[in-house]
């Protein structure tokens, strides 16, 4: 049984180098994130080779900062956790290699964590911290012992074996729906739905790029959308009818590769490549491209571009038609995420919904999911804004049940860029 319950986690799957120290999956002692946004922004997206190089530069100072901020040393830890996939192979390898070296040199067990599982545990970590703040004393262990029927005692607002949660992981790389259930020191995940092509965050990023806005695009669209009319352009998502021949075949895109689509209900499948094309068509039809070019120049690349453009700077460059387009795009994407998430929750009779991943930081998404959940008498939970996007605290939280179960990584652990979660 663990002693201190302290886990140092490392996350380097994409463009953030992160390290955190979390105790028993319930108390964040430190969470340090070194963002590479400035490096990738000028290319309008993540450049894998640059990401690996930046991780190499940042990993040692970031881990040191996480230990220092938590006021602990390596000798205080019970384990090291690391993201083993999915993500960029070279980026993942930087974190894995360093975590392995630290674990080996300090005689600590190494725990491999799936990045998607980490996102789900970001919500659980936040919920536990809220509960503890309410109680004001100590904190209860992550997973409680089974009760007489073998089920786990419900942890307040947290999912239990009898009351599983339905999770939407919506980020730059994923748009996946899972049924999540804790059972005997482990969590099980059943894949319920996912995107067939682009992830929702990818659509935000591509549309923002098309409109001459910065990278990552989600926060820009989030900030500008309230200034436009969300009903101005009726973007529509049609019902997906997966062709039978796709079942069992390798999916076409990076986002889709992390899970097979066979046996999934088509009502819970997403597709975001169509709306991206619809926005492109709108831009061309209404001759908005020259405006996007001059906006990019004024905000990001031109000689007079501000060092750090603000929302006000961007607003000053946007005409009402562009703002309506931004608002309508966001409204449609959030509407589609809601429709399928709530339909799946209903069909699974799940009363708890967890929304997580970078896009879960979106304000319209939070407001509309919260209102709809209240209308349906369901519980909905989000991570804090800091825990929505990539971080290592969520990886440490997901590692805690594995530490309790003694489920450690093999010494030949390697990166798995297409690592799937659940079946
Ligand atoms: O979870 P994350 O940090 O990395 C991945 O695992 O992909 O998610 C990053 C994604 C990006 O696509 C970014 O544009 C999007 O999350 N994002 C947002 C917002 N903040 C970040 N999308 C919409 N609204 C936001 N406020
Ligand atoms: Zn992520």
Q: Closest Cα to residue 344, out of 207, 216, 84, 168?
A: 168
Supply 394's token pair.
């969520």
pLDDT tens figures, 247-287: 555 556 554 555 556 678 899 999 999 999 999 999 999 99
φ/ψ region of 113 (left if φ > 0, alpha if ψ in -120 to 50, else beta) reads beta
* CB of residue 204 inside a 6 A radius of ligand 1: yes
The three-state DSSP-derived secondary structure of the chain is: CCCCCEEEEEECCCCEEEEEEEECCCEEEEEEEEECHHHHHCCCCCCHHHHHHHHHHHHHHHHHHHHHHHCCCHHHCCEEEEEEECCCHHHHHHHHHHHHHHHHHHCCCEEEEEHHHHHHHHHHHHHHHHHHHHHCCCCCCCCCCECCCCCECCCCCCCCCCCCEEEEEECCCCEEEEEEEECCCCEEEEEEEEECCCCHHHHHHHHHHHCCCCCCHHHHHHHHHHHCCCCCCCCCCCCCCCCHHHCCCCCCCHHHHCCCCCCCCHHHEECCHHHHHHHHHHHHHCCCHHHHHHHHHHHHHCCCCCCCCCHHHHHHCCCHHHHHHHHHHHHHHHHHHHHHHHHHHHHHCCCEEEEECHHHHCHHHHHHHHHHHHHCCCEEECCCHHHHCCCCHHHHHHHHHHHHHCCCCCCCCCCCCCCCCCC
Ligand nearest to the CA of 198: 1
Instruction: Calculate how far, in angstroms, residue 114's C-alpha sits from the geometric centre of ligand 2.
Output: 10
Residues 327-353 have pLDDT tens digits of 999 999 999 999 999 999 999 999 999
* C-alpha of residue 356 to centroid of ligand 1, in Å: 10
- Cα of 344 vs centre of ligand 2, distance in Å, is 22
Q: Whose CA is nearest to atom 23 of ligand 1?
A: 218
User: Does the Cβ of 109 fall within 6 Å of ligand 1?
Assistant: no
- Ligand 1 probe mutation, 176, 201, 333, most atoms within 8 A of CB: 201
Distance 76 CA to ligand 2 centre (A): 28
Overall fold of domain 193-350:
Nucleotidyltransferase; domain 5 (3.30.420)
Instruction: Select from 151, 119, 175, 152 the least CA-distant residue to 395.
Output: 119
> What per-residue confidence (pLDDT) applies to 80?
98
| C-alpha–C-alpha distance, residues 201 and 365, integer Å | 12
302 CA from centroid of ligand 2 (Å):
31
Q: What is the pLDDT of residues 41-98, one digit of tens each?
A: 777 778 888 888 999 999 999 999 999 999 999 999 999 999 999 999 999 999 999 9
Q: Residue 353 phi/psi, 5° resolution?
A: -125, 130
- Is this structure's pTM higher than 0.75? yes
Q: What contacts 84, CB < 8 A, 6 or more positions away?
A: 92, 96, 112, 113, 114, 409, 413, 414, 415, 416, 419
Nearest CA to ligand 1 atom 8: 358
- 362 CB near ligand 1 (under 6 Å): yes
Mutate which of 83, 171, 419 for ligand 1? The one with the most ligand atoms within 8 Å of its CB, which is 171
Q: Whose CA is nearest to atom 3 of ligand 1?
A: 389
Of the bound ligands, which one is closest to the alpha carbon of residue 115?
2
Task: Tell me which CATH code domain 6-123+388-405 carries.
Answer: 3.30.420.40
Pocket test for ligand 1, best of 389, 392, 394 (most atoms within 8 A of CB): 389
pLDDT over 70 percentage in the chain: 89
- 171 Cβ closer than 6 Å to some ligand 1 atom: yes
pLDDT for residue 305: 87
- Among the residue ranges 41-55, 226-240, 280-294, 317-331, the one predicted with the least confidence is 41-55
Domain ranges of the chain: 6-123+388-405, 193-350
Ligand 1 neighbour 364 (Cβ under 6 A): no
Regarding the beta carbon of 358 and ligand 1, being less than 6 Å apart is answered yes
The answer to whether the CB of 172 is under 6 A from ligand 1 is yes
> How many CB atoms lie under 10 A from the CB of residue 243?
7
**The two domains 6-123+388-405 and 193-350 share their CATH topology (first three levels equal):** yes
Q: Are 380 and 353 in contact (CB under 8 A)?
A: yes
Q: Which atom of ligand 1 is nearest to the CA of 388?
A: 1
pLDDT band at 146 (very low <50, low <70, confident <90, very high): very low
Q: Which atom of ligand 1 is the closest one to the Cα of 363? A: 26
């Amino acid at each position: 049984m663990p002693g201190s319950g302290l886990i140092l986690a490392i996350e380097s799957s994409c463009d953030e180098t992160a390290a955190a120290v979390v105790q028993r999956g319930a108390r964040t002692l430190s969470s340090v994130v070194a963002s590479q946004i400035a490096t990738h922004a000028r290319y309008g997206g993540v450049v894998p080779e640059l990401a690996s190089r930046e991780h190499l530069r940042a990993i040692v100072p970031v881990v040191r900062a996480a230990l220092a901020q938590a006021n602990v040393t390596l000798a205080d830890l019970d384990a090291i956790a690391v993201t083993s996939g999915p993500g960029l192979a070279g980026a993942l390898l930087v974190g894995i290699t360093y975590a392995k070296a630290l674990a080996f040199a300090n005689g600590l067990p190494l725990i491999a964590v799936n990045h998607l599982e980490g996102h789900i545990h970001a919500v659980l970590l936040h919920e536990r911290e809220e509960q503890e703040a309410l109680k004001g004393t100590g904190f209860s262990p992550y997973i409680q012992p089974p009760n007489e029927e073998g089920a786990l005692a419900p942890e307040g607002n947290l999912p239990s074996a009898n009351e599983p949660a339905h999770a939407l992981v919506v980020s730059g790389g994923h748009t996946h729906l899972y049924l999540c259930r804790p059972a005997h020191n482990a969590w099980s995940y059943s894949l319920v739905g996912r995107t067939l092509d682009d992830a929702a965050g990818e659509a935000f990023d591509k549309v923002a790029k098309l409109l001459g806005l910065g990278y990552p695009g989600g926060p820009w669209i989030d900030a500008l959308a309230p200034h436009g009319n969300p009903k101005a352009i009726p973007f529509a998502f049609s019902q997906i009818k997966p062709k039978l021949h796709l079942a069992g075949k390798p999916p076409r895109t990076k986002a889709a590769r992390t899970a097979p689509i066979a046996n999934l209900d088509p009502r819970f499948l997403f597709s975001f490549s169509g709306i991206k094309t619809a926005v492109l068509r709108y831009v061309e039809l209404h001759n908005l491209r020259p405006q996007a070019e001059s906006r990019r120049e004024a905000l990001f690349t031109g000689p007079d571009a501000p060092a750090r453009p603000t929302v006000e700077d961007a607003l000053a460059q946007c005409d009402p038609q562009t703002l309506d387009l931004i608002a309508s795009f966001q409204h449609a994407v959030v509407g589609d995420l809601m429709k399928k998430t709530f339909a799946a929750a209903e069909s699974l009779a799940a009363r708890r919904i967890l929304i997580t991943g970078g896009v879960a930081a979106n304000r319209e998404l939070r407001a509309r999911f919260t209102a709809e959940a209240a209308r349906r008498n369901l519980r909905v939970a989000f991570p804090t804004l800091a825990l929505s996007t990539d971080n290592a605290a969520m990886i440490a939280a997901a590692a805690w049940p594995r530490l309790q179960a003694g489920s450690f990584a093999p010494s030949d652990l390697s990166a798995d860029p297409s690592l799937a979660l659940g079946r």
